[in-house]
Amino acid sequence: MQPLTSPNTFAKLAKKETPTLVVAAGADQLASPNLMRIWAKFLRNHEWVLIPSAGHSVAWEDPEAFIRVVLNFIGSD
């Protein structure tokens, strides 16, 4: 396992001002939707999306849903 040179913290997230898309996957066993919600609440400007049928590799497991939410977020929809 590669060590983190700059660990993620709630304080670092709270400093982010960039609009952020948080994509959670309903069947993710590594980063569960509940865990993702905890992290997301520290982001000042975020949009929360849950793709219920996908696991940790949401972009591969449900690419159509993933692409749709990303394009909607960036305004290219």
pTM, two decimals, is: 0.83
Cβ burial 2-23 (10 Å sphere, 16+ → b, else e): eeeeeeeeeeebeeeeeeeebb
DSSP 4-71: PSS---HHHHHH--S-EEEEEETT-SSS-HHHHHHHHTT-SSEEEEEETT--TTHHHHSHHHHHHHHH
Sole residue written with tokens 């590799």 = 57
pLDDT tens digit sequence for 11-51:
999 999 999 999 999 999 999 999 999 999 999 999 999 99
Please compute the mean of the pLDDT values over residues 58-75 and round it to a whole number. 96
